[in-house]
């Protein structure tokens, strides 16, 4: 766990508070039901030593969509101000590469006022190590068909809700089996996403990822930036429904997200994968890592 003394915490409507102070009431729907949404962002230092949030607009746009899907009020400008206050404090207290969580819950049943937080902690040594060592991944079924979200908006496909208990349980299952992470597969055998990341794979000079929409997977901001930059650098980029066998046949498979960046899969379901540092380095650079 990050040491709270090296964290920054800002609360919507209150501004900066002591990072160790309590911020939620017992009847907050974020606690009692996981009813809310969040973003996980990366903070980097610019040339002038100021902390800045990578892809902040994309994160705020996705959080606007998540909050709308949940019918929770979201004032994007108030959130931008909250982020600015938290990030300025991060710069003032020394800065460095960091992870920022933006958390929005429906709030306490007794007040009906949403709870909003921006929470910044340094990037952990484990994250830095994973970027270098790559990931051992197992595939696990999510038990739903790859079009399960097509006619069912209440399933909240593509919404970054606070309800990550299943995702965390899957990661613990991976650890029990000696792996680092999971790639979820649909009941009909289609590669979906990781519990906290998008799956991207390459064949030659083509990058693939699973389509969002009916699959219910989260549209990844890192994958979108990667595809934009890779497309401009001459790569083909595609949305592809693939089986696990097709993933085994890929040149490189990555699990990617905002804070970890693209991390290459070095073992898939117990089979070692040859690492391709040339391709990996190019894709990391195109993704801003």
For ligand PLP, the binding residues (CB under 6 A) are 40, 193, 196-198, 218, 220-223, 257-258
- Our CB check for ligand PLP shows the closer of 196 and 202 to be 196
In angstroms, the first-to-last Cα distance of the chain is 24
The distance of closest approach from Cβ of residue 14 to ligand PLP in the complex, given in angstroms and rounded to an integer, is 26
Q: Are 83 and 56 in contact (CB under 8 A)?
A: yes
The distance of closest approach from Cβ of residue 254 to ligand PLP in the complex, given in angstroms and rounded to an integer, is 11
94 Cβ neighbours under 8 A, 6+ residues apart: none
**∠ CA(24), CA(29), CA(257), 5° rounding?**
85
The distance of closest approach from Cβ of residue 196 to ligand PLP in the complex, given in angstroms and rounded to an integer, is 4
Q: Are 217 and 192 in contact (CB under 8 A)?
A: yes
Number of Cβ within 10 Å of residue 159's Cβ equals 18
| Three-state SS at 236 | strand
CA–CA gap between residue 8 and residue 34 (Å, rounded): 23
- Our CB check for ligand PLP shows the closer of 91 and 258 to be 258
The distance of closest approach from Cβ of residue 255 to ligand PLP in the complex, given in angstroms and rounded to an integer, is 9
- Our CB check for ligand PLP shows the closer of 114 and 262 to be 262
CA–CA gap between residue 67 and residue 105 (Å, rounded): 9
Residue 265's alpha-carbon distances to 136, 189, 270, in angstroms, are 6, 19, 11
The distance of closest approach from Cβ of residue 192 to ligand PLP in the complex, given in angstroms and rounded to an integer, is 9
Q: Are 37 and 160 in contact (CB under 8 A)?
A: yes
The distance of closest approach from Cβ of residue 260 to ligand PLP in the complex, given in angstroms and rounded to an integer, is 8
The distance of closest approach from Cβ of residue 151 to ligand PLP in the complex, given in angstroms and rounded to an integer, is 21
- Our CB check for ligand PLP shows the closer of 198 and 202 to be 198
CA–CA gap between residue 67 and residue 252 (Å, rounded): 34
The distance of closest approach from Cβ of residue 47 to ligand PLP in the complex, given in angstroms and rounded to an integer, is 24
Tokens standing for residue 252: 């490189």
- Our CB check for ligand PLP shows the closer of 78 and 166 to be 166
- Our CB check for ligand PLP shows the closer of 17 and 44 to be 44
For residues 93-125, one letter each, b for 16 or more C-beta atoms within 10 angstroms of the residue's C-beta and e for the rest, the string is eebeebbbebbbbbbbeeeeebbbbbbbbbbee
**∠ CA(208), CA(213), CA(218), 5° rounding?**
70
- Our CB check for ligand PLP shows the closer of 194 and 252 to be 194
- Our CB check for ligand PLP shows the closer of 136 and 142 to be 142
């Amino acid at each position: 766990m990050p040491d709270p003394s090296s964290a920054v915490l800002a609360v919507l409507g209150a501004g900066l508070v002591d990072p160790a102070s309590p911020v939620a009431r017992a009847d907050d729907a974020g606690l009692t039901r996981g009813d809310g949404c969040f973003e996980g962002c990366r903070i980097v230092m610019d040339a002038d030593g100021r902390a800045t949030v990578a892809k902040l607009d994309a994160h705020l746009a996705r959080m606007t969509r998540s909050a709308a899907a949940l019918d929770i009020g979201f004032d994007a400008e108030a959130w931008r101000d909250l982020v600015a206050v938290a990030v300025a404090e991060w710069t003032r207290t020394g800065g460095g590469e960091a992870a920022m969580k933006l958390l929005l819950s429906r709030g306490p049943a007794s007040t009906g006022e949403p709870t909003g937080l921006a929470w910044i902690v340094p990037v952990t040594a484990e994250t830095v190590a994973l970027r270098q060592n790559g990931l051992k991944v197992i595939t696990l079924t999510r038990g739903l068909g790859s079009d399960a979200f097509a006619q069912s908006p209440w399933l909240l496909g593509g919404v970054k809700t606070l309800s990550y208990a299943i995702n965390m349980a899957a990661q613990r299952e991976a650890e029990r089996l000696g792996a680092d992470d999971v790639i979820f597969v649909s009941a009909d055998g289609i590669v979906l996403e990781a519990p906290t990341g998008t799956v991207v794979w390459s064949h030659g000079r083509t990058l693939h990822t699973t389509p969002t929409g009916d699959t219910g997977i989260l549209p990844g901001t890192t994958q979108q930036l990667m595809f934009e930059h890779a497309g401009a650098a001459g790569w083909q980029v595609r949305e592809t429904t693939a089986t696990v066998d097709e993933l085994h046949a890929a040149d490189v498979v990555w699990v990617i997200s905002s804070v970890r960046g693209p991390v290459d899969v070095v073992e898939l379901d117990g089979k070692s994968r040859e690492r391709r540092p040339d391709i990996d380095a190019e894709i990391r650079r195109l993704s801003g890592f």
